[in-house]
C-alpha cells in the first residue's frame, strides 16, 4: 500500500471518505446514547469513551502503514469503549483488502471475542445483549466480506493483465518465429543458388563465355528474386495486419525449373489431380524447397527425385530423395539444422508428419504427409 507521502488523489479521497464514515458512525452512536439517558457508565467514563473514539478515528490515517497492528489495538479498545466501533470496522476492512485471508480470519476471530467481552462488561439500555452481539457480528462480517471481495477483484484484474501480457508476448514470439522461418526458407533457397553458380565461376574461370553469361544471369535473377522476397517479408513486418504471400503446390514446377537451371538433376512427378488446400500446398512447397536447398549444399551433383501424390479425404504426400553422384558432404546421422526443425513445426501445425534420414543408397530422403480434408 502507498504510504502517506505517496498517496494518489484517489487514495486521499478514499482515506477521507473512510475517516468520515468512522467519525459519522461514532457520532451517530453518541447521539443515540445522549438521547436515551440515564447512561450505563459514569460520566467520566463516557467522556473517556468519546476521547478514545476521536483518537481512534485520527489513528486511521496510519492504517496504510500498520493495518494489522492498528486493527489489533482497536479490537482491544472496542472491548471497553463502544464509540471506537466505527474506526474498528474501517481497520478491519483495510486488513481484508490488503492482507492474506488467513490474517483476515485471525483478525475477524479476535474481533468476535472483543464483541463478546463488550457485551459481558457493558449493557445498552433497551437493547438485549444477544441482539447487540448479533448486530456487531453482522457489521464485522459485512466489512470483512466486502474487503475480501475487493481483494479478490484486484487480484483477478492483476491476473488478467498478466495473462494478457503473456499472450501478447507469446503472439509476438510466434510472429518472430514465423518470419524467421519464412526468411530461412526463402533466402536459404535463393542464396544456395547464388553459391552454386558463384562457386562454378570461381573454380572454372576459363569456362566458355556462354556458360559464364548463363551463370551470371542466374546469379542476377536469384539475387533480384531474393530481394523481392525480402521486401515482402519486411512489408509484413511494417504492416502487422498483413499476411505473407504463401506459394502453392503448382509453384513446385517453377522451383524445380530454377534448380535445373542451376545445374541440378531433378525429376518431378506430380500425381495430384485436384485442387489442394492453400496451407497444405504452401507447406508442400516449403518441404521441396528445403530438400532441394539441402541437396545443393550437401550432395552437389546428386540426382534428386520429387514426388507429390494424394487425394481428398486422405493425405497429401511429398517425397524428395537424392542419389549422390559421389561422396556426400553431409555426414551420416547429422543433427537436423534450424531449417528442418522449422519445417517440422510447420508440418506439425497442420497435423501432419515429417520424416527425414539417410537412404540405403547413401542418399537422403525427406518425406511429409499433410492432411487433406475431403
Query: How far is 1 from 68, CA to CA, in rounded Å?
Result: 13
End-to-end CA distance of the chain: 60
C-alpha cell at 372: 487433406
Which DSSP state fits 148?
H
- Write down the pTM of the prediction: 0.50
- Give the length of the chain: 374
C-alpha cell at 211: 556458360
Cis peptide preceding 38, ω within 30 of 0? yes
Report, in angstroms and rounded to the nearest whole number, the Rg of the chain calculated over CA atoms: 40
Residue 320 near residue 292 (C-beta atoms within 8 A): yes
Residue 53 near residue 26 (C-beta atoms within 8 A): yes
Query: How far is 336 from 364, CA to CA, in rounded Å?
Result: 12
How far, in Å, are 81, 172, 180, 282, 319 from residue 237 at the CA level?
69, 11, 11, 20, 32
Query: How far is 3 from 62, CA to CA, in rounded Å?
Result: 9
Tens digit of pLDDT per residue, the chain (374 long)?
A: 555 457 778 878 888 888 888 888 888 877 777 776 655 667 777 778 788 888 888 888 888 888 899 899 988 888 888 888 888 899 999 899 989 989 999 999 998 898 888 888 776 666 677 887 888 889 899 999 998 999 999 999 999 999 988 888 888 887 777 777 767 766 776 777 777 767 767 777 777 878 777 777 777 777 777 777 777 666 656 655 445 567 888 889 988 888 887 778 899 998 888 888 888 888 898 899 888 888 887 777 788 999 999 888 889 999 999 887 654 444 444 445 567 877 888 888 888 999 988 888 888 899 999 999 87
Query: How far is 189 from 183, CA to CA, in rounded Å?
Result: 10
Amino acid at each position: 500500500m502507498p504510504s502517506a507521502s505517496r498517496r494518489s488523489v484517489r487514495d486521499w479521497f478514499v482515506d477521507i471518505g473512510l475517516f468520515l464514515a468512522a467519525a459519522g458512525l461514532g457520532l451517530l452512536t453518541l447521539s443515540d446514547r445522549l438521547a436515551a439517558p440515564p447512561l450505563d457508565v459514569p460520566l467520566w467514563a463516557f467522556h473517556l469513551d468519546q476521547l478514545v473514539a476521536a483518537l481512534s478515528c485520527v489513528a486511521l490515517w496510519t492504517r496504510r502503514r500498520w493495518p494489522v497492528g492498528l486493527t489489533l489495538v482497536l479490537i482491544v479498545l472496542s472491548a471497553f469503549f463502544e464509540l471506537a466501533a466505527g474506526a474498528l470496522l474501517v481497520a478491519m476492512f483495510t486488513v481484508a483488502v490488503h492482507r492474506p485471508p488467513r490474517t483476515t480470519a485471525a483478525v475477524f476471530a479476535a474481533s468476535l471475542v472483543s464483541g463478546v467481552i463488550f457485551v459481558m462488561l457493558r449493557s445498552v439500555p433497551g437493547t438485549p445483549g444477544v441482539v447487540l452481539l448479533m448486530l456487531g457480528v453482522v457489521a464485522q462480517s459485512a466489512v470483512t466480506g466486502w474487503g475480501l471481495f475487493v481483494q479478490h477483484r484486484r487480484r483477478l484484474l492483476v491476473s488478467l493483465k498478466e495473462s494478457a501480457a503473456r499472450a501478447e508476448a507469446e503472439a509476438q514470439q510466434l510472429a518472430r518465429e514465423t518470419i524467421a522461418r519464412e526468411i530461412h526458407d526463402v533466402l536459404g533457397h535463393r542464396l544456395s543458388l547464388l553459391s552454386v553458380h558463384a562457386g562454378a565461376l570461381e573454380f572454372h574461370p576459363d569456362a566458355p563465355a556462354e556458360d559464364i553469361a548463363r551463370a551470371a544471369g542466374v546469379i542476377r535473377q536469384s539475387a533480384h528474386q531474393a530481394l523481392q522476397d525480402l521486401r515482402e517479408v519486411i512489408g509484413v513486418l511494417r504492416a502487422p495486419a498483413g499476411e505473407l504471400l504463401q506459394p502453392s503446390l503448382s509453384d513446385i514446377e517453377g522451383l524445380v525449373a530454377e534448380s535445373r537451371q542451376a545445374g541440378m538433376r531433378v525429376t518431378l512427378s506430380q500425381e495430384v489431380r485436384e485442387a489442394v488446400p492453400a496451407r497444405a500446398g504452401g507447406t508442400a512447397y516449403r518441404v521441396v524447397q528445403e530438400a532441394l536447398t539441402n541437396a545443393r549444399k550437401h550432395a552437389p551433383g546428386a540426382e534428386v527425385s520429387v514426388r507429390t501424390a494424394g487425394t481428398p479425404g486422405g493425405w497429401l504426400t511429398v517425397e524428395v530423395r537424392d542419389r549422390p553422384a559421389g561422396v556426400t558432404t553431409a555426414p551420416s546421422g547429422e543433427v537436423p539444422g534450424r531449417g528442418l526443425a522449422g519445417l517440422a513445426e510447420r508440418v506439425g501445425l497442420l497435423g501432419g508428419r515429417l520424416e527425414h534420414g539417410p537412404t540405403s543408397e547413401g542418399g537422403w530422403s525427406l518425406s511429409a504427409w499433410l492432411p487433406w480434408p475431403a
